[in-house]
Amino acid sequence: MRKKIIIGNWKMNNDKQETENFLLKLKNKTWNKEIEVKVSPSFVSLENAQKILRNSPVEVVAQNMHYEKNGAFTGEISCKMLKSINVNSVIIGHSERRTLFYENEDIIKRKIKTALNNEMKVIFCFGESLEDRNKKKHIKTITKQLDVIMSDLKTNQRNQIILAYEPIWAIGTGLNATPEQAQQIHKHVREEIATAFNKNLANSVQILYGGSLKPNNSEEIFSKPDIDGGLIGGASLSFDDFYSIIRSIDKK
Ligand code: PGA
């Protein structure tokens, strides 16, 4: 049985006080123990978030990291720095990093390798553009994005990846993929993994959906068999919305 996962990706939102207020509320809430809840605050709040959540099952996740061990990379954060404050998971391949910060597949691959070689878990984002979808090239794009990453990893490292299907046209736009569209992609990804690697991996890999998930669409999206949870941006900034989304997967 795959565990359900809900991750709040706060992006460049929430300062120290806002982070504290949110997490103190979250810490006092309960949900089914089988659901993994994670939050991804900004770098400056990671350590404080860890402190607040010390005795809580909520995991703190980084939004990014550099692929080099250390060195002259002004403004960057290393894997070792994250691990030194007990942050053991990182989001890589987010479409905002790809488009706004020009991260290409080579950079993404290096980041993933560094993270996995240092026993960090990776939440790997992939997804097609609107143009790809309109031209009916979305399946091809997704297959390629996954192939580039997965085929380059060692067998035991593939188990350390959580996949997040995030169609670019649905991120922050209010346009979510329909539950059927998302399910179709998630099912396709599992089939591809089964063919390329093995059925065990295909059945065990957790695949999240991300893109305008809200309390009013999450229950239906999470009801699909191949969708194991969500990576939530905008709606994770409102405590009530985020908690409603957690509760909506509880009902599945
Ligand atoms: P959104 O963002 O929920 O605001 O669409 C999702 C994401 O970027 O992970």
Q: What is the tens place of the pLDDT at every residue in 16-72?
A: 999 999 999 999 999 999 999 999 999 999 999 999 999 999 999 999 999 999 999
Query: Is it the case that residue 251 has pLDDT exceeding 80?
Result: no
Calculate how far, in angstroms, residue 49's C-alpha sits from the geometric centre of ligand 1: 21
Domain for residue 31, yes or no?
yes
Does 19 fall in a domain?
A: no
Asked whether residue 98 is assigned to any structural domain, the reply reads yes
Is residue 139 in some structural domain?
A: yes
Sequential DSSP letters for the chain: -PPEEEEEE--S---HHHHHHHHHHHHT----TTEEEEEE--HHHHHHHHHHTTTSSPEE-BS---SSSSSS-TT---HHHHHHTT--EEEE--HHHHHHS---HHHHHHHHHHHHHTT-EEEEEE---HHHHHTT-HHHHHHHHHHHHHTTS-HHHHTTEEEEE--GGGTTTS-PPPHHHHHHHHHHHHHHHHHHT-HHHHHH--EEE-SS--HHHHHHHHTSTT--EEEESGGGGSHHHHHHHHHHHHT-
Residues in the chain: 252
**Catalytic (active site) residue 94:** yes
Tens of pLDDT, residue by residue over 60-73, are: 999 999 999 999 99
Separation of alpha carbons 14 and 41, rounded Å = 7
∠ Cα 234 164 124 (to 5°): 110
Total number of domains in the chain? 1
Q: Which of 66, 94, 138, 186 is catalytic?
A: 94
**Any ligand 1 atom below 6 A from CB of 179:** no
Domain-located, residue 3? no
pLDDT tier at 148 (50, 70, 90 boundaries)? Answer: confident
CATH number of the structural domain spanning residue 246: 3.20.20.70
Q: Please, which residues have CB within 8 angstroms of residue 129's CB and are 6 or more apart in sequence?
A: 141, 168, 169
234 lines ligand 1 (CB under 6 A): yes
Residue 52 in domain: yes
Answer whether 245 contacts ligand 1 (Cβ < 6 A): no
Given a contact cutoff of 8 angstroms between Cβ atoms, the answer to whether 180 and 140 are in contact is: no
64 is a domain residue: yes
On whether the CB atoms of residues 75 and 44 are closer than 8 A, the answer is no
pLDDT band at 152 (very low <50, low <70, confident <90, very high): confident
pLDDT number for residue 252: 58
Domain that holds residue 87: 24-250
Active site residue 166: yes
pTM, to two decimals: 0.96
Phi, psi angles (nearest 5°) of residue 178: -70, 160
- CA 206 / ligand 1 centre spacing (Å): 18
**Cβ of 231 less than 6 Å from ligand 1:** yes
Evaluate whether residue 62 is within a structural domain.
yes
Compute, in angstroms, the gap from residue 210 CA to the centroid of ligand 1.
6
